[in-house]
Protein backbone atom coordinates (compact mmCIF):
# COMPACT_ATOMS: atom_id res chain seq x y z
CA UNK A 1 0.00 0.00 0.00
CA UNK A 2 1.39 3.34 -1.09
CA UNK A 3 0.48 6.45 0.88
CA UNK A 4 -0.19 8.52 -2.24
CA UNK A 5 -3.25 9.89 -4.03
CA UNK A 6 -3.05 6.98 -6.46
CA UNK A 7 -2.50 4.52 -3.62
CA UNK A 8 -5.65 5.46 -1.67
CA UNK A 9 -7.92 5.16 -4.70
CA UNK A 10 -8.43 1.49 -3.91
CA UNK A 11 -10.40 2.08 -0.73
CA UNK A 12 -10.74 -1.65 -0.03
CA UNK A 13 -6.99 -1.82 0.64
CA UNK A 14 -7.41 0.76 3.38
CA UNK A 15 -9.93 -1.02 5.59
CA UNK A 16 -9.54 0.18 9.16
CA UNK A 17 -8.48 3.66 8.02
CA UNK A 18 -10.68 6.73 7.74
CA UNK A 19 -10.07 8.29 4.33
CA UNK A 20 -10.75 11.84 3.09
CA UNK A 21 -14.39 12.28 2.09
CA UNK A 22 -13.85 15.21 -0.27
CA UNK A 23 -12.38 15.68 -3.73
CA UNK A 24 -8.68 16.15 -2.92
CA UNK A 25 -7.74 17.32 -6.42
CA UNK A 26 -10.44 19.99 -6.35
CA UNK A 27 -9.40 21.06 -2.86
CA UNK A 28 -5.78 21.43 -4.01
CA UNK A 29 -6.89 23.52 -6.98
CA UNK A 30 -9.00 25.77 -4.74
CA UNK A 31 -6.16 26.10 -2.21
CA UNK A 32 -3.78 27.28 -4.93
CA UNK A 33 -6.26 29.65 -6.59
CA UNK A 34 -7.78 31.16 -3.44
CA UNK A 35 -5.50 30.45 -0.46
CA UNK A 36 -7.11 31.13 2.90
CA UNK A 37 -4.69 29.66 5.44
CA UNK A 38 -0.92 29.31 5.29
CA UNK A 39 0.92 27.63 8.15
CA UNK A 40 4.62 27.77 9.05
CA UNK A 41 6.06 24.82 10.98
CA UNK A 42 4.85 21.62 9.35
CA UNK A 43 5.75 19.24 12.15
CA UNK A 44 3.89 16.72 14.24
CA UNK A 45 1.33 18.80 16.12
CA UNK A 46 0.44 20.63 12.91
CA UNK A 47 -0.47 17.36 11.21
CA UNK A 48 -1.95 15.61 14.26
CA UNK A 49 -4.21 18.50 15.26
CA UNK A 50 -4.56 21.33 12.74
CA UNK A 51 -4.59 19.22 9.58
CA UNK A 52 -7.04 16.77 11.15
CA UNK A 53 -9.30 19.66 12.18
CA UNK A 54 -9.19 21.07 8.65
CA UNK A 55 -10.03 17.63 7.23
CA UNK A 56 -13.04 17.43 9.55
CA UNK A 57 -14.35 20.65 8.00
CA UNK A 58 -13.43 19.69 4.43
CA UNK A 59 -15.32 16.41 4.91
CA UNK A 60 -18.48 18.30 5.86
CA UNK A 61 -18.10 21.03 3.25
CA UNK A 62 -17.55 23.81 5.79
CA UNK A 63 -14.13 24.47 4.23
CA UNK A 64 -13.38 24.36 0.50
CA UNK A 65 -9.77 25.55 0.54
CA UNK A 66 -7.19 23.49 2.45
CA UNK A 67 -4.02 24.51 4.25
CA UNK A 68 -0.83 25.68 2.58
CA UNK A 69 2.02 24.10 4.55
CA UNK A 70 5.21 26.17 4.63
CA UNK A 71 8.55 25.26 6.14
CA UNK A 72 11.49 27.54 6.90
CA UNK A 73 13.42 25.25 9.27
CA UNK A 74 15.18 23.25 6.58
CA UNK A 75 13.51 21.60 3.61
CA UNK A 76 13.43 17.90 4.47
CA UNK A 77 9.97 17.82 6.05
CA UNK A 78 8.46 19.01 2.77
CA UNK A 79 10.79 17.38 0.24
CA UNK A 80 11.19 13.99 1.96
CA UNK A 81 7.98 13.63 3.94
CA UNK A 82 5.16 15.62 2.32
CA UNK A 83 5.88 15.50 -1.41
CA UNK A 84 6.68 11.76 -1.81
CA UNK A 85 3.25 11.09 -0.27
CA UNK A 86 1.31 13.78 -2.19
CA UNK A 87 1.00 15.77 1.06
CA UNK A 88 -0.90 12.92 2.74
CA UNK A 89 -0.12 11.60 6.20
CA UNK A 90 -1.53 8.97 8.54
CA UNK A 91 -2.76 10.37 11.86
CA UNK A 92 -2.90 7.68 14.55
CA UNK A 93 -4.87 8.45 17.70
CA UNK A 94 -3.65 6.44 20.70
CA UNK A 95 -6.68 5.86 22.90
CA UNK A 96 -6.38 5.09 26.59
CA UNK A 97 -8.11 1.71 26.21
CA UNK A 98 -5.41 0.50 23.82
CA UNK A 99 -7.44 0.98 20.67
CA UNK A 100 -6.24 3.18 17.84
CA UNK A 101 -8.01 5.37 15.34
CA UNK A 102 -6.21 5.63 12.00
CA UNK A 103 -6.97 8.35 9.49
CA UNK A 104 -5.36 9.33 6.20
CA UNK A 105 -5.27 13.12 6.36
CA UNK A 106 -5.26 15.01 3.08
CA UNK A 107 -6.08 18.61 4.01
CA UNK A 108 -2.78 20.14 2.84
CA UNK A 109 -3.44 21.64 -0.58
CA UNK A 110 0.08 22.90 -1.23
CA UNK A 111 3.42 22.32 0.51
CA UNK A 112 6.24 24.85 0.18
CA UNK A 113 9.63 25.77 1.59
CA UNK A 114 11.13 29.23 1.98
CA UNK A 115 14.30 27.81 0.39
CA UNK A 116 12.75 26.68 -2.89
CA UNK A 117 9.35 28.37 -3.13
CA UNK A 118 9.73 31.85 -1.69
CA UNK A 119 8.19 33.67 -4.65
CA UNK A 120 5.14 31.40 -4.44
CA UNK A 121 4.84 32.17 -0.71
CA UNK A 122 5.08 35.85 -1.62
CA UNK A 123 2.23 35.43 -4.13
CA UNK A 124 0.08 33.81 -1.44
CA UNK A 125 0.70 36.68 0.97
CA UNK A 126 -0.51 39.08 -1.71
CA UNK A 127 -3.89 37.40 -2.32
CA UNK A 128 -7.10 39.04 -1.13
CA UNK A 129 -8.43 35.66 0.01
CA UNK A 130 -5.69 34.96 2.59
CA UNK A 131 -7.15 35.23 6.09
CA UNK A 132 -4.60 33.76 8.45
CA UNK A 133 -0.92 32.94 8.74
CA UNK A 134 -0.40 30.49 11.60
CA UNK A 135 2.72 29.14 13.26
CA UNK A 136 3.96 26.16 15.26
CA UNK A 137 7.67 26.98 15.24
CA UNK A 138 8.37 26.62 19.02
CA UNK A 139 8.89 29.58 21.33
CA UNK A 140 12.48 29.91 20.11
CA UNK A 141 11.22 30.64 16.59
CA UNK A 142 10.06 34.11 17.63
CA UNK A 143 13.14 34.99 19.67
CA UNK A 144 15.35 37.77 18.35
CA UNK A 145 17.82 37.42 21.24
CA UNK A 146 19.67 34.66 23.06
CA UNK A 147 19.12 33.71 26.71
CA UNK A 148 21.53 36.46 27.81
CA UNK A 149 19.59 39.13 25.97
CA UNK A 150 22.08 39.54 23.13
CA UNK A 151 20.55 40.05 19.70
CA UNK A 152 21.26 37.24 17.27
CA UNK A 153 23.80 38.33 14.61
CA UNK A 154 21.37 37.26 11.86
CA UNK A 155 18.65 39.50 13.29
CA UNK A 156 21.09 42.37 13.76
CA UNK A 157 22.00 42.11 10.07
CA UNK A 158 18.34 41.83 9.04
CA UNK A 159 17.50 45.05 10.89
CA UNK A 160 20.09 46.86 8.79
CA UNK A 161 18.90 45.32 5.52
CA UNK A 162 16.17 46.64 3.23
CA UNK A 163 13.24 44.16 3.32
CA UNK A 164 13.21 44.16 -0.50
CA UNK A 165 16.78 42.83 -0.40
CA UNK A 166 15.71 40.16 2.10
CA UNK A 167 12.91 39.09 -0.25
CA UNK A 168 15.29 38.96 -3.22
CA UNK A 169 17.83 37.00 -1.17
CA UNK A 170 15.22 34.44 -0.18
CA UNK A 171 13.99 34.12 -3.75
CA UNK A 172 17.59 33.48 -4.81
CA UNK A 173 17.90 30.68 -2.27
CA UNK A 174 20.06 32.54 0.25
CA UNK A 175 18.99 31.10 3.62
CA UNK A 176 20.55 33.76 5.81
CA UNK A 177 17.52 35.59 7.21
CA UNK A 178 15.42 35.09 10.33
CA UNK A 179 11.86 33.84 9.85
CA UNK A 180 10.45 36.85 11.71
CA UNK A 181 12.24 39.14 9.26
CA UNK A 182 10.76 37.17 6.35
CA UNK A 183 7.26 37.34 7.83
CA UNK A 184 7.54 41.09 8.43
CA UNK A 185 8.74 41.63 4.86
CA UNK A 186 6.01 39.39 3.41
CA UNK A 187 3.31 41.13 5.43
CA UNK A 188 4.50 44.54 4.20
CA UNK A 189 4.46 43.18 0.64
CA UNK A 190 0.79 42.36 1.21
CA UNK A 191 0.23 45.95 2.28
CA UNK A 192 1.74 47.30 -0.93
CA UNK A 193 -0.13 44.83 -3.15
CA UNK A 194 -3.71 44.08 -2.09
CA UNK A 195 -3.61 46.10 1.12
CA UNK A 196 -6.01 43.73 2.86
CA UNK A 197 -5.67 43.01 6.59
CA UNK A 198 -4.34 39.70 7.92
CA UNK A 199 -4.01 37.70 11.15
CA UNK A 200 -0.62 36.34 12.25
CA UNK A 201 -1.53 33.55 14.68
CA UNK A 202 0.96 31.79 16.92
CA UNK A 203 -0.33 28.35 17.91
CA UNK A 204 2.77 27.41 19.85
CA UNK A 205 2.56 26.02 23.36
CA UNK A 206 3.84 29.09 25.20
CA UNK A 207 2.18 31.81 27.26
CA UNK A 208 1.19 35.05 25.53
CA UNK A 209 2.28 33.58 22.19
CA UNK A 210 0.57 36.29 20.14
CA UNK A 211 2.53 38.92 22.01
CA UNK A 212 5.79 37.19 21.09
CA UNK A 213 5.19 37.35 17.34
CA UNK A 214 3.77 40.88 17.58
CA UNK A 215 6.82 42.15 19.46
CA UNK A 216 9.21 40.48 17.00
CA UNK A 217 7.47 41.86 13.90
CA UNK A 218 7.19 45.37 15.32
CA UNK A 219 10.78 45.47 16.55
CA UNK A 220 12.10 44.55 13.10
CA UNK A 221 9.74 46.99 11.40
CA UNK A 222 10.80 49.74 13.81
CA UNK A 223 14.43 49.23 12.85
CA UNK A 224 13.53 49.33 9.16
CA UNK A 225 11.59 52.57 9.61
CA UNK A 226 14.48 54.15 11.52
CA UNK A 227 16.81 53.15 8.68
CA UNK A 228 14.47 54.67 6.09
CA UNK A 229 13.63 51.36 4.40
CA UNK A 230 9.89 51.58 5.11
CA UNK A 231 7.42 54.38 5.76
CA UNK A 232 5.34 55.42 8.75
CA UNK A 233 2.31 54.14 6.80
CA UNK A 234 3.93 50.71 6.57
CA UNK A 235 4.36 50.62 10.34
CA UNK A 236 0.79 51.82 10.80
CA UNK A 237 -0.44 48.91 8.65
CA UNK A 238 1.33 46.47 10.99
CA UNK A 239 -0.31 48.23 13.96
CA UNK A 240 -3.87 48.63 12.68
CA UNK A 241 -4.46 46.14 9.85
CA UNK A 242 -2.53 43.14 11.19
CA UNK A 243 -3.80 41.22 14.22
CA UNK A 244 -1.76 38.97 16.47
CA UNK A 245 -4.30 36.71 18.22
CA UNK A 246 -3.27 34.83 21.34
CA UNK A 247 -3.97 31.13 21.62
CA UNK A 248 -3.69 28.15 23.97
CA UNK A 249 -2.96 24.77 22.40
CA UNK A 250 -2.92 21.44 24.19
CA UNK A 251 -2.44 18.02 22.63
CA UNK A 252 0.35 15.66 23.65
CA UNK A 253 2.06 14.71 20.39
CA UNK A 254 5.24 12.65 20.91
CA UNK A 255 7.73 11.94 18.15
CA UNK A 256 6.84 9.05 15.76
CA UNK A 257 6.74 5.86 17.81
CA UNK A 258 8.37 2.56 16.78
CA UNK A 259 5.34 0.49 17.82
CA UNK A 260 3.04 2.65 15.70
CA UNK A 261 5.43 2.31 12.77
CA UNK A 262 5.39 -1.49 13.14
CA UNK A 263 1.59 -1.51 13.31
CA UNK A 264 1.30 0.50 10.09
CA UNK A 265 3.86 -1.69 8.33
CA UNK A 266 1.83 -4.74 9.41
CA UNK A 267 -1.20 -3.03 7.86
CA UNK A 268 0.73 -3.02 4.59
CA UNK A 269 1.83 0.61 4.24
CA UNK A 270 5.17 1.11 2.50
CA UNK A 271 7.88 3.74 3.01
CA UNK A 272 6.82 5.28 6.30
CA UNK A 273 10.07 4.91 8.27
CA UNK A 274 10.74 7.90 10.54
CA UNK A 275 13.86 9.96 10.03
CA UNK A 276 15.63 12.82 11.78
CA UNK A 277 16.21 16.05 9.87
CA UNK A 278 19.58 17.85 10.06
CA UNK A 279 17.85 20.26 12.45
CA UNK A 280 16.99 17.43 14.85
CA UNK A 281 13.27 17.09 14.06
CA UNK A 282 11.85 13.56 14.30
CA UNK A 283 9.42 13.16 11.41
CA UNK A 284 7.62 10.46 9.45
CA UNK A 285 4.72 10.02 7.05
CA UNK A 286 2.63 9.30 10.15
CA UNK A 287 1.95 11.09 13.41
CA UNK A 288 0.82 9.63 16.73
CA UNK A 289 -1.00 11.57 19.42
CA UNK A 290 -3.53 11.37 22.23
CA UNK A 291 -7.24 11.96 21.57
CA UNK A 292 -7.88 14.96 23.87
CA UNK A 293 -7.18 18.27 22.16
CA UNK A 294 -7.78 21.91 22.93
CA UNK A 295 -7.13 25.04 20.89
CA UNK A 296 -8.50 28.25 22.37
CA UNK A 297 -7.97 31.24 20.06
CA UNK A 298 -8.57 34.95 20.45
CA UNK A 299 -11.22 35.82 17.87
CA UNK A 300 -9.42 38.71 16.16
CA UNK A 301 -9.30 38.05 12.41
CA UNK A 302 -9.63 41.31 10.44
CA UNK A 303 -9.98 39.57 7.05
CA UNK A 304 -12.27 36.79 8.30
CA UNK A 305 -11.27 33.24 9.23
CA UNK A 306 -12.05 29.58 8.52
CA UNK A 307 -14.89 28.24 10.69
CA UNK A 308 -12.52 26.18 12.81
CA UNK A 309 -14.87 26.53 15.77
CA UNK A 310 -16.91 23.77 14.10
CA UNK A 311 -14.00 21.31 14.54
CA UNK A 312 -13.53 19.23 17.67
CA UNK A 313 -11.72 20.95 20.52
CA UNK A 314 -11.37 24.42 18.94
CA UNK A 315 -12.89 27.45 20.67
CA UNK A 316 -12.79 31.13 19.67
CA UNK A 317 -13.14 33.71 22.42
CA UNK A 318 -11.61 36.96 23.74
CA UNK A 319 -7.98 37.51 24.74
CA UNK A 320 -8.66 37.53 28.48
CA UNK A 321 -10.35 34.13 28.27
CA UNK A 322 -7.47 32.70 26.22
CA UNK A 323 -5.08 33.91 28.89
CA UNK A 324 -7.21 32.36 31.64
CA UNK A 325 -7.36 29.03 29.78
CA UNK A 326 -3.57 29.10 29.40
CA UNK A 327 -3.07 29.86 33.09
CA UNK A 328 -5.51 27.12 34.11
CA UNK A 329 -3.52 24.57 32.11
CA UNK A 330 0.02 25.80 32.70
CA UNK A 331 -0.26 26.90 36.33
CA UNK A 332 -2.62 24.32 37.80
CA UNK A 333 -4.22 21.50 35.86
CA UNK A 334 -1.52 19.98 33.63
CA UNK A 335 1.97 21.42 33.49
CA UNK A 336 2.82 21.54 37.23
CA UNK A 337 1.79 17.89 37.47
CA UNK A 338 3.94 17.03 34.46
CA UNK A 339 6.97 18.74 36.03
CA UNK A 340 6.46 16.88 39.33
CA UNK A 341 6.30 13.57 37.46
CA UNK A 342 9.32 14.53 35.36
CA UNK A 343 11.57 15.41 38.30
CA UNK A 344 10.66 12.46 40.49
CA UNK A 345 10.40 10.11 37.51
CA UNK A 346 14.02 10.77 36.60
CA UNK A 347 15.13 10.33 40.22
CA UNK A 348 13.25 7.04 40.57
CA UNK A 349 14.40 5.60 37.25
CA UNK A 350 11.14 5.79 35.31
CA UNK A 351 11.18 6.16 31.53
CA UNK A 352 7.43 6.43 31.00
CA UNK A 353 4.84 8.87 32.33
CA UNK A 354 2.13 6.21 32.17
CA UNK A 355 4.23 3.87 34.34
CA UNK A 356 4.56 6.63 36.93
CA UNK A 357 0.77 6.78 37.10
CA UNK A 358 0.86 3.30 38.67
CA UNK A 359 3.10 4.60 41.47
CA UNK A 360 0.93 5.24 44.53
CA UNK A 361 3.10 7.97 46.06
CA UNK A 362 3.60 9.88 42.81
CA UNK A 363 -0.11 9.77 42.00
CA UNK A 364 -0.89 10.98 45.51
CA UNK A 365 1.69 13.76 45.16
CA UNK A 366 0.19 15.25 42.01
CA UNK A 367 -3.41 14.59 43.07
CA UNK A 368 -3.02 16.24 46.48
CA UNK A 369 -0.92 19.08 45.09
CA UNK A 370 -3.50 19.92 42.44
CA UNK A 371 -6.57 19.52 44.64
CA UNK A 372 -5.38 21.18 47.86
CA UNK A 373 -2.86 23.74 46.56
CA UNK A 374 -3.69 24.30 42.89
CA UNK A 375 -7.48 24.33 42.73
CA UNK A 376 -7.97 26.89 45.54
CA UNK A 377 -6.12 29.47 43.41
CA UNK A 378 -7.01 28.18 39.92
CA UNK A 379 -7.95 30.67 37.21
CA UNK A 380 -11.31 29.59 35.78
CA UNK A 381 -11.67 30.54 32.11
CA UNK A 382 -15.38 29.73 32.02
CA UNK A 383 -15.19 27.97 28.65
CA UNK A 384 -13.36 24.98 30.16
CA UNK A 385 -14.10 23.40 33.53
CA UNK A 386 -10.85 23.19 35.56
CA UNK A 387 -12.14 20.23 37.60
CA UNK A 388 -13.01 18.23 34.47
CA UNK A 389 -9.77 19.23 32.74
CA UNK A 390 -7.75 18.08 35.76
CA UNK A 391 -9.74 14.85 36.07
CA UNK A 392 -9.09 14.06 32.39
CA UNK A 393 -5.34 14.54 32.94
CA UNK A 394 -5.27 12.32 36.00
CA UNK A 395 -7.54 9.53 34.76
CA UNK A 396 -7.16 9.49 30.97
CA UNK A 397 -4.22 11.45 29.61
CA UNK A 398 -1.31 10.73 31.95
CA UNK A 399 -2.14 7.02 32.55
CA UNK A 400 -2.50 6.26 28.82
CA UNK A 401 0.02 3.39 28.40
CA UNK A 402 0.01 3.84 24.64
CA UNK A 403 1.39 7.39 24.80
CA UNK A 404 5.19 7.07 24.54
CA UNK A 405 5.94 10.13 26.70
CA UNK A 406 8.89 10.23 29.09
CA UNK A 407 9.85 12.16 32.24
CA UNK A 408 13.22 12.85 30.60
CA UNK A 409 11.53 14.76 27.75
CA UNK A 410 9.35 16.76 30.11
CA UNK A 411 12.32 17.54 32.41
CA UNK A 412 13.97 19.45 29.55
CA UNK A 413 14.34 23.19 30.32
CA UNK A 414 12.75 22.84 33.78
CA UNK A 415 14.39 26.07 34.99
CA UNK A 416 12.56 27.93 32.24
CA UNK A 417 9.22 26.40 33.18
CA UNK A 418 9.23 26.81 36.96
CA UNK A 419 8.36 30.56 37.03
CA UNK A 420 5.04 29.88 35.30
CA UNK A 421 4.28 26.32 36.41
CA UNK A 422 5.00 27.01 40.09
CA UNK A 423 5.87 30.69 40.51
CA UNK A 424 2.38 31.97 39.69
CA UNK A 425 0.73 29.70 42.25
CA UNK A 426 3.35 30.54 44.85
CA UNK A 427 2.54 34.23 44.29
CA UNK A 428 -1.19 33.53 44.58
CA UNK A 429 -0.66 31.78 47.93
CA UNK A 430 1.65 34.57 49.13
CA UNK A 431 -1.15 37.02 48.34
CA UNK A 432 -3.61 34.83 50.27
CA UNK A 433 -1.20 34.72 53.18
CA UNK A 434 -0.99 30.93 53.40
CA UNK A 435 2.22 30.16 51.49
CA UNK A 436 3.86 28.85 54.67
CA UNK A 437 1.19 26.14 54.90
CA UNK A 438 2.00 24.60 51.51
CA UNK A 439 3.18 20.97 51.56
CA UNK A 440 3.34 19.47 48.07
CA UNK A 441 4.54 22.36 45.89
CA UNK A 442 7.60 22.81 48.16
CA UNK A 443 8.17 19.05 47.96
CA UNK A 444 8.42 19.32 44.17
CA UNK A 445 10.87 22.22 44.44
CA UNK A 446 12.97 20.24 46.92
CA UNK A 447 12.81 17.33 44.50
CA UNK A 448 14.18 19.51 41.71
CA UNK A 449 17.06 20.67 43.92
CA UNK A 450 17.78 17.02 44.65
CA UNK A 451 17.57 16.32 40.89
CA UNK A 452 20.29 18.93 40.31
CA UNK A 453 22.77 16.68 42.13
CA UNK A 454 22.41 14.27 39.16
CA UNK A 455 22.30 11.20 41.43
CA UNK A 456 19.22 8.97 41.46
CA UNK A 457 17.55 7.25 44.41
CA UNK A 458 19.87 4.27 44.01
CA UNK A 459 22.87 6.51 44.45
CA UNK A 460 23.82 6.19 40.79
CA UNK A 461 24.70 9.11 38.53
CA UNK A 462 22.31 10.08 35.74
CA UNK A 463 22.44 12.75 33.08
CA UNK A 464 19.94 15.56 33.67
CA UNK A 465 17.91 16.69 30.68
CA UNK A 466 19.18 19.72 28.78
CA UNK A 467 18.45 23.06 30.43
CA UNK A 468 20.09 26.44 29.71
CA UNK A 469 20.44 27.19 33.44
CA UNK A 470 21.47 23.68 34.53
CA UNK A 471 25.11 24.47 35.28
CA UNK A 472 24.20 27.81 36.91
CA UNK A 473 21.60 26.17 39.15
CA UNK A 474 24.00 23.38 40.10
CA UNK A 475 26.66 25.96 40.95
CA UNK A 476 24.19 27.70 43.30
CA UNK A 477 24.08 24.51 45.39
CA UNK A 478 27.79 24.94 46.04
CA UNK A 479 29.49 22.01 47.75
CA UNK A 480 26.30 20.08 48.55
CA UNK A 481 26.81 16.42 47.68
CA UNK A 482 24.68 13.29 47.68
CA UNK A 483 24.15 12.04 51.24
CA UNK A 484 24.66 15.41 52.96
CA UNK A 485 21.81 15.89 55.47
CA UNK A 486 22.91 18.99 57.39
CA UNK A 487 22.12 21.44 54.60
CA UNK A 488 20.95 24.77 56.04
CA UNK A 489 18.55 27.41 54.79
CA UNK A 490 21.59 29.59 54.22
CA UNK A 491 23.09 26.92 51.94
CA UNK A 492 19.98 27.02 49.75
CA UNK A 493 19.21 30.73 50.02
CA UNK A 494 21.07 31.68 46.85
CA UNK A 495 18.96 29.46 44.63
CA UNK A 496 15.67 29.78 46.55
CA UNK A 497 15.83 33.58 46.40
CA UNK A 498 16.38 33.52 42.62
CA UNK A 499 13.30 35.12 41.08
CA UNK A 500 14.43 34.28 37.54
CA UNK A 501 14.13 30.57 38.32
CA UNK A 502 11.09 30.55 40.61
CA UNK A 503 9.22 33.68 39.56
CA UNK A 504 9.32 34.92 43.15
CA UNK A 505 11.68 34.94 46.13
CA UNK A 506 10.91 31.73 48.02
CA UNK A 507 13.07 32.83 50.98
CA UNK A 508 11.03 36.00 51.47
CA UNK A 509 7.88 33.91 51.04
CA UNK A 510 8.88 31.90 54.11
CA UNK A 511 9.28 28.63 52.21
CA UNK A 512 13.00 28.08 52.81
CA UNK A 513 12.51 26.14 56.09
CA UNK A 514 10.19 23.48 54.65
CA UNK A 515 12.12 23.14 51.37
CA UNK A 516 15.37 22.73 53.30
CA UNK A 517 13.76 20.13 55.56
CA UNK A 518 12.47 18.18 52.57
CA UNK A 519 15.81 18.42 50.77
CA UNK A 520 17.71 16.91 53.70
CA UNK A 521 15.23 14.05 53.88
CA UNK A 522 15.41 13.42 50.12
CA UNK A 523 19.21 13.51 50.22
CA UNK A 524 19.72 11.10 53.14
CA UNK A 525 21.16 8.31 50.96
CA UNK A 526 19.92 5.41 48.87
CA UNK A 527 16.15 4.99 48.99
CA UNK A 528 15.63 8.31 50.78
CA UNK A 529 13.50 9.74 47.98
CA UNK A 530 11.08 6.84 48.12
CA UNK A 531 10.93 7.00 51.92
CA UNK A 532 10.25 10.75 51.84
CA UNK A 533 7.46 10.33 49.31
CA UNK A 534 5.92 7.59 51.46
CA UNK A 535 6.12 9.87 54.48
CA UNK A 536 4.26 12.77 52.87
CA UNK A 537 2.28 11.21 50.02
CA UNK A 538 1.07 7.87 51.34
Whether the domain at 11-317 and the domain at 328-537 fall into the same CATH topology: no
Q: Which residues 6+ apart lie within 8 Å of 199 measured at CB? A: 131, 132, 133, 242, 243, 244, 245, 300, 301, 302, 303, 305
- Show Cβ contacts of residue 211 under 8 Å, excluding neighbours closer than 6 positions: 244, 246
pLDDT at 403: 86
The confidence score (pLDDT) of residue 255 equals 86
What pLDDT was estimated at residue 494? 96
Query: Consecutive 10-residue runs of the chain (538 residues): their mean pLDDT?
Result: 96 96 98 99 96 99 98 93 97 92 99 97 99 95 89 98 97 93 99 98 94 98 98 98 98 91 96 88 93 98 98 98 96 97 99 97 99 96 98 96 89 93 96 96 99 98 95 96 97 96 96 98 98 98
Sequence-distant (6+) residues with CB within 8 A of 371 are: 390
Model confidence over 306-317: pLDDT tens digits? Answer: 999 999 999 999
What's the N-to-C CA distance of the chain in angstroms?
A: 52
CB 194 within 8 A of CB 130: no
pTM of the model: 0.90
Nearest to 422 by CA among 352, 499, 477: 499
Angstrom distance (rounded) from CA 282 to CA 407? 18
- Compute the Cα dihedral for 404, 406, 412, 417 and give only its sign: positive
Domains of the chain, residue spans: 11-317, 328-537
pLDDT confidence of residue 280: 81
* CATH annotation of 11-317: 3.40.50.720
Q: Which residues in 497-507 are b (16+ Cβ under 10 Å) and which e?
A: bbeebbbbbbb
Contact residues for 395 (Cβ-Cβ < 8 A; gap 6+) = none
Please state which of the four CATH numbers 1.20.58.220, 3.40.50.300, 1.10.1040.10, 1.20.1560.10 is assigned to the domain occupying 328-537: 1.10.1040.10
| 420-446 tens-digit pLDDT | 999 999 999 999 999 999 999 999 999
Amino acid sequence: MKLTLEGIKNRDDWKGFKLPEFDIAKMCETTKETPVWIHFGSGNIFRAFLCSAAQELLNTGVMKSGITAAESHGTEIITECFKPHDNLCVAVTLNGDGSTTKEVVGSVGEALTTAYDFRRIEEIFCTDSLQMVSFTITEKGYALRDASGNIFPMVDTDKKTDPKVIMDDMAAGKQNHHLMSMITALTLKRKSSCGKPIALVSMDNCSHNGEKIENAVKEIAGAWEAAGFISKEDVEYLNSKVSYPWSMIDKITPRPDKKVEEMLIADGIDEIKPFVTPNGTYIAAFVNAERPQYLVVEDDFPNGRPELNKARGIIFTDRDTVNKAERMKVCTCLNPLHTALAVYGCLLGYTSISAEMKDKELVNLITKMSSTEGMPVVVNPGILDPEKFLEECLTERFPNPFMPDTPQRIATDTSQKLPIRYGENFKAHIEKGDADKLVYMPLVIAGWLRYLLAVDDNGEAFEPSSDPLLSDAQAMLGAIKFGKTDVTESDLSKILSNEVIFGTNLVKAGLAPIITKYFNELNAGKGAIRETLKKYCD
